[in-house]
Each structure stands twice: as structure tokens, then as C-alpha cells.
Structure 1
Amino acid sequence: MNNTFNINRFGLLLKRQWLDFGKVYLISLLVVVGALVGFYFYYIPSPFKENNFDYDGNLDMRFRYPIYLILGFLFISIVASSYFSLLGQKSRAILELMTPASTFEKFLSGVFYTTLVSFASYIILFYLIDLSFVKYLNMHLGEFKNTSKASSALTVDGFFDQILSDKKYREYCVMFFGFPFLITSIFLLGSAYFKNFHYIKTALITMVFSGFCVYVVFKASELLTKNMYRANYSGSEDSKNDILLGLLAATAILTLIFWLITYVRLKEKEV
């Protein structure tokens, strides 16, 4: 089939792909829900616990940051790594390749489900669970005995409300917005490239390559700065913004490269 794009055919392809991909997606989503609820129950402040407050005297909700990042990484990477995994099974691969849709449409469906749907659903899911626990805490703030230096008026902000209300958090969120797309593009490529053990192989190669790149950059900077004196310079706000913008541009370029390689790999399988 040629590489044309037909919106009606693409819609039918999305419905067809959901029959196989939807099972893995929904199971992963249920696991994430259970993990989030479990972590919140375990780490959330309680009147029956000690050390409920942070250094500023507010209820300590810092556990949300590592949970959000780690669970989010695992969820979107596992979902992306499973999308084209059927192409590694000969019996299922034939049916997949015979699907009446162009390679470009199959590639777009992969990007749609593994990037847009998975990332958006995780954000919504985390927001709803966090909002439920935050509302519960705010309804029972009078049960907490605060002996710290904080004021008597306590409030608990939602995770995303806390981030969006801080200017620095908003700037970093914008600059690091491309990382979820980069992660899904890497594991989507792994699902199309490897025949089995897609997630493990992709994760190992990514860790080895990332470690090698960090080592090369560290050694290069060490050689370039040899016999130089270190100057204490915090850098201006513009220079920091330039670094963050450069990071955003780099992640966007790498994401596009991995998507292109995935598309070429799918074309090779069609042949």
C-alpha cells in the first residue's frame, strides 16, 4: 500500500489497533492506579504519624515528586515498548502487516497511542488521585498537631496547582516538556526494532548509551578545562534560559530522529 494518508482509514486503524493495544494499556493503567493509591496511603501525612511537617512547617507532601516522575516514566515506557511488539511474532506479524493501512498511518497510530493518549491519561489520573487525597487532608487539618514554627493556618495545595503557581516550576516544566516524548519515541523504536524482550533490550541499550555519552562529555570537559582556575559565577537569568531552551531543542530533535528511524523500520518490515 502506498504512503498516502486517509483520515477515514486512519480512524478505522485506530479502532482496530485498540483491540490489541487497549488490553495492555488498560492493564497498565490499573496497575498505575493501584500503585498511586498505595503510595499515597503509605506516605501521606496522618495524625497518627510523626514528622508530618517539612522545614517550613507545612504538611510534608514532597513524596509526590519522585512518585510522579518514576511511575510516569515506567508507565509511558512500558506502554510504548508494547505497541509494535506483535511484529516480533511471526504468526501475528503477518496479520499486522496485512492490515489495509499505509505505513505512515500505522506509524501515526503508534505515536498517537503511546505519546498523546498515554501521557495525557497519566496526567489526568495523577491529578484526580492527588486531588482526592488533598481534599481529604484539607477537610481534616484540625486533627494535626503542629508543634513546628509554622503558622496555625495550614492548607495543602494540589500537586499541579503547586507547580503552576510557582514561576520557576512553570519554566522548568516548559523546558522539560519534551522528555516524555523522547522517552516514548525511544521505547516505540525498541518495540519495532527488536523481536523479543523489547523493554529490557531497549532499557539496557539506552542506559549504556547514556552512560557512554555522559562519560565522553565529562572527559571532554575535563580535558578542555585542564590547568584552568574555577571561577565562582552563578550565571545570569538569560544564560540559564538559553541552557534550558537548548535542552528543549535537543530533546525535540532527538525525538524526531527516533520517530524517523521507527518509520523507516516499519517500512522495512512492510517490504
Structure 2
Amino acid sequence: MSNVFNFNRLCALIRRQWVSVGRIYLMSLVILAGIFIAFYGFNCYKYFVELKVGNNIGENLFSFRTPLFCILGLFFITVISGSYFSNLGQKTKAIFELMIPASRLEKFLTSIFYTVIVSLSAYFLLFFLVDLAFVSHLRSTGSSITTIMDDSGGKLMNDNWIYFFQLEKSEFLPYFYFLPFLLNALFLLGSIAYQNYQYIKTAITMIVYIAIWGLTFAYVMKLRTDNTIGLGNSTGYFHDKNNVLEILLVIGIVLTLIFWGLAFLRLKEKEV
């Protein structure tokens, strides 16, 4: 078989892989839907119970959405990525996987397609659909408009039951868009590099690395600032929060590309 990249063979491999991973993906989405519905259902139930005994306007009814979306989403991408190549750690299954008539590049691109494009798209769509259903139902039962006074004495109308995709995003959020891709690259590498318990070993390695890096950074900063006098109006490149976040974004993108590259090289060298 030729190891030269072939688009038609890539499409065939993607279709073939769906037979293997499609059922697992659908089961994971059902579990996710259950978690989303449980959170929304519990908070809505609590709201209606409180409404019977008081004047609850549901101001903080959906305060759980942002942390749930972010934390569960990052966890989901790590689980999917960390298990994609787990069969390579089992000799009998590894032989079958390595004998698939496709180049290593096509296999790696297929893994990116399923663990990044399909996973993130399905997660976003599922969360938005559940949010749309619950918020639409609540908006059909009443209104949660609150009036607040601004600094000039004017009145501002605030809708507490807006859809998740209409929420105002933090101006710093785009600087962290690299995070799910970085986690994908890291756990994808771990699923290839380790023979067993790939997810656990990768997670432990990541935690240890972050701890060492954080302690080292704190120690270096302490050494640099000991016996120095801080200036209240310090200026400089690193005193601008946007500059620091831009550096963080660049580092995140570079690390993602490095880990993807290492994962591909490790896949090329993989033998039974």
C-alpha cells in the first residue's frame, strides 16, 4: 500500500471508523444529554417550588450554565481524545488497527476529525438544543425581566432568561480558545504513547507538569521581586493584561502543534 496521502482513501477511512466509534459517540452524547437535562431540570424544578412560596423571578436560575459548559466540555474532549487510540495498547486489537489499508497520516487526520471536529460540533449542538428547549419553555410560562437603576438614575431592563448563545462573552475569552485543542493534542498523544490506562497516566502527567511549572514560575518570580520596590504605576509590555494573554495564546497554539506533531510521529513509529 502506498503511504502517499490519498483523499478518497481518507474519506473511506472516516466512513469505516464510524462503524467502530459511532456507537460509542452516540452513547456518550446520550450521557451528556442526560447530564444537561439533569442540571436544567433540577434548577427549573427548584425555581417552580420557590415560586409557590415567594416572589422568585429566576434571576440566578441559569447561573450554572457557563461553568457547566466549560468544565464538562473540556472533560469530554479529554475522554474522547484519550480513548481514541487505546486499542493500540492491546496486542490483538493493535494488529488489526495497524493493518488497516491507510497511511499513518490518514489515520491521524481521521483521529483529528473525530476527536476535534465531530466531538466539539456535537457537544456545542447538544448543549444549545437542551438550552433552547428549557429556556423556550420557561419564556412561554412567564417573564423574568428585572429593572435596575444605572449611575445616571435611568432604568435598565435586564432579561434573566436569555439563551446561552446570546450571553455576553468576556473580552478575554478568545485568548483561551486554544485550550480544547491543546488538551486534545495532549491526550491524543497519551493514548498512543502509553500501553494501558492511557487516560489516567496522561492526566497524572499533565497535573504533575502543571504543578512543577507553576511552582517553578512562582519561585522565579519570588527571586526576581525579593528586596525590590514595587511602583504603583509600573508600565511595560508585561504589565498590559492583553499582552500577557496574547503570549499565553501563542504559547498554547505552539504547544498544540508540537503535541500534534509528536502524536503523529509516535503513531508512525507504533509497532506491536
Range of TM-score over shorter length: 0.7 to 0.9
The share of aligned pairs that are identical, in percent, is 40
User: Are the equivalent residues in 2 in contact too, given 1:53–1:148 (CA < 8 A)?
Assistant: no
Residues 162/106 of structure 1: CA separation in 2 closer, same or farther (3 Å cut) = same
* 1:159-215 C-alpha deviation (Å, 9 max, x unpaired): 12113xx5xx2x323211111100111111111111111111111111111111111
User: Are the equivalent residues in 1 in contact too, given 2:145–2:157 (CA < 8 A)?
Assistant: no
**Which residue, out of 153, 158, 163, partners 2:163?**
158
User: Are the equivalent residues in 1 in contact too, given 2:83–2:191 (CA < 8 A)?
Assistant: yes
Count of paired positions: 262
Q: Which residue of 1 aligns with 2:186?
A: 186
In the TM superposition, residue 153 of structure 1 has moved relative to its aligned partner by 7.1
For structure 1, the residue ranges without an aligned partner over 5 or more in a row are none
User: Are the equivalent residues in 2 in contact too, given 1:77–1:187 (CA < 8 A)?
Assistant: yes
What TM-score does the superposition give when structure 2 sets the normalisation length?
0.86
Q: Which residue of 2 aligns with 1:88?
A: 89
In the TM superposition, residue 147 of structure 1 has moved relative to its aligned partner by 11
Letter in 2 for 1:217: F
What TM-score does the superposition give when structure 1 sets the normalisation length?
0.87
Q: Which residue of 1 aligns with 2:152?
A: none
Letter in 2 for 1:160: F
Letter in 2 for 1:252: I
In the TM superposition, residue 158 of structure 1 has moved relative to its aligned partner by 1.2
* 1:6-55 C-alpha deviation (Å, 9 max, x unpaired): 1100001111111222222222111111011101112346232279568x
For structure 2, the residue ranges without an aligned partner over 5 or more in a row are 150-154
* 1:112-133 C-alpha deviation (Å, 9 max, x unpaired): 1101111111111111111111
User: Are the equivalent residues in 2 in contact too, given 1:52–1:59 (CA < 8 A)?
Assistant: no
Distance in 2 between residues matched to 1:53 and 1:232, nearest whole Å: 43
Q: Which residue of 1 aligns with 2:66?
A: 65
SS in structure 2 of the partner of residue 46 of structure 1: helix
Letter in 2 for 1:159: F
Distance in 2 between residues matched to 1:39 and 1:234, nearest whole Å: 45
Letter in 1 for 2:166: D
**Superposition map of 1:1-271 within 5 A:** 1-44=1-44, 46-49=47-50, 58-142=59-143, 154-163=159-168, 166=169, 169=170, 171-233=171-233, 239-270=240-271
* 1:41-91 C-alpha deviation (Å, 9 max, x unpaired): 12346232279568xxx3442111111112111211111111101111111
CA root-mean-square deviation: 2.8
Distance in 2 between residues matched to 1:217 and 1:268, nearest whole Å: 34
Distance in 2 between residues matched to 1:159 and 1:256, nearest whole Å: 31
Distance in 1 between residues matched to 2:235 and 2:15, nearest whole Å: 51
Distance in 2 between residues matched to 1:59 and 1:14, nearest whole Å: 43
Structure 1: which 4+ aligned runs deviate by more than 6 Å? 144-153, 234-238
Distance in 2 between residues matched to 1:208 and 1:154, nearest whole Å: 43
* 1:212-248 C-alpha deviation (Å, 9 max, x unpaired): 1111111111111111233445979992222222111
Residues 177/235 of structure 1: CA separation in 2 closer, same or farther (3 Å cut) = farther
Distance in 1 between residues matched to 2:145 and 2:256, nearest whole Å: 49
SS in structure 2 of the partner of residue 195 of structure 1: coil
